[in-house]
Amino acid sequence: MLPGNRDSRNGFYLFSRAMNLHAFALREGSFTCGRVARSVQFMKARACGGQKFSFSPSLHHQAIADLGEMRTLRFPGGEVAVWQRRLRKKLTALLGGIPKDRVPLNVRHLWSRPHPLGTIEKIVFASEFRCDVPAYVCLPGKSPGPRPFMICLQGHRGRMHHSIAASADEKSWAVPVHDDLDFGIECMKRGLAALCIEQRSFGERSERAMETPSGDGCQDAAMHALFLGRTLLGERVYDVDRAMDYLMARGDADPRRIGVTGNSTGGLVALFAAALLPRIRFAMPSSCFSSFRDSFLAMGHCSCNYVPGLLNVADMADIAGLIAPKPLVLVHGREDHLFPIRSTRRAWREVKATYAAAGASGKCALVVGPAGHRFYSALAWPVLLRMLRDAG
């Protein structure tokens, strides 16, 4: 409901003033008598008398975020662990909860091939009933077990095969990969093993069974999940949890040195996974961090990234704070058009404060690259490896 009093006109006036105080006039749309003025970002509506109207739904949603009581479980200061337990419980519920029963992994080995850096295997494991996960296992040749592992997640612009610099049909190798998204290869170069999984609705796991899919790669899965009281984001986090089950069953993974990385939506899943899954010991999410208000409520994003009611409870900085005191390297581009750098830096200050309260100031870093929405391998990896060495 919009704020107001018994006089609806006065209520509308008060609400309009509140919006002006929060700079909403700069984002309103307008329609002048006899003329329609359009722009890339908005349409303005104005009657002959100069009165403005708020017709765009985003204006109302932004007003709720700006004027309402949001982030009821933001870090209040004090004991970090107590706050983390409360927020993790609520966040898990918002994502759709955790399946009560885990199906057998039913691991199937498809092939194993030598690589100049070691060996790459392709496997498939079961995450849930009728829900299989293909993955590449990248094993550096000079790293005997127990091995450190990185779970690698691609976003909308990448697919699992990009992580190993292969073509989609796996017939060509050493294929050029854009934006440093060859995560598995980069891990092997640094002596880390990697498990590169295909995320739900991407690549080999894209929708092929429906007779009339929507045409949006993630929308069907995201909407179906909502019908079932779940979220696609939560399901992707659960796949990471099952990937951990697979690594523990292998016998050559060091449980003290398993991390997660990803770019864009892969980075978002990596962030949530590190926040919620205790077996994840470090994280390097990329191109996914700012405030929700300045990104998800300000510009178009895929439906797979949204969680009902989340902003009422927490913002991105709070979720990153759940990772403390584990090593965290957030990677970002100065010109990222989806996550504005000013908002990123503001949210980052909150993360640093949470880490400081947890006694882990040296275990978090923000790495900023010079361009846009991409990973920055040469900048990010040295920071993470230094953190891991310092942590022992």
Token pair for 250:
């292998």
How far apart are the C-alpha atoms of 368 and 388, rounded to whole Å? Answer: 20
Closest CA to 163 of 148, 178, 149: 178
Closest CA to 125 of 151, 145, 147, 143: 151
Q: Which residue has the tokens 């009902």?
A: 308
How far apart are the C-alpha atoms of 100 and 118, rounded to whole Å? Answer: 38
Please report the beta strands in 154-252, taking only residues with DSSP state E, as ranges in sequence order: 193-197
How far apart are the C-alpha atoms of 321 and 50, rounded to whole Å? Answer: 46
Q: For position 4, what pLDDT does the model report?
A: 39
Token pair for 223:
């909407």
Q: What confidence category does residue 50 fall into, taking pLDDT thresholds of 50, 70 and 90?
A: low
Q: For position 352, what pLDDT does the model report?
A: 98
pLDDT for 327-375, tens place per residue?
999 999 999 999 999 999 999 999 999 999 999 999 999 999 999 999 9
Closest CA to 189 of 164, 208, 211: 164
pLDDT for 154-213, tens place per residue?
999 889 999 999 999 999 999 999 999 999 999 999 999 999 999 999 999 999 999 888
Domain spans, the chain: 8-68, 108-391
Q: Does pTM top 0.85 for this prediction?
A: yes
For the stretch 227-240, what's the b/e string if a residue is b when 16 or more beta carbons lie within 10 angstroms of its beta carbon?
A: eeebbbbbbbbbbb
How far apart are the C-alpha atoms of 15 and 65, rounded to whole Å? Answer: 14
Percent of the chain with pLDDT strictly greater than 90 = 78
pLDDT for 197-256, tens place per residue?
999 999 999 999 998 888 788 999 999 999 999 999 999 999 999 999 999 999 999 999
* pLDDT for 107 beyond 80: yes
Token pair for 108:
């199937």
Q: For position 37, what pLDDT does the model report?
A: 30
Token pair for 272:
């949530």
Task: For the domain covering 108-391, report its CATH number.
Answer: 3.40.50.1820
How far apart are the C-alpha atoms of 388 and 392, rounded to whole Å? Answer: 6
How far apart are the C-alpha atoms of 316 and 129, rounded to whole Å? Answer: 31
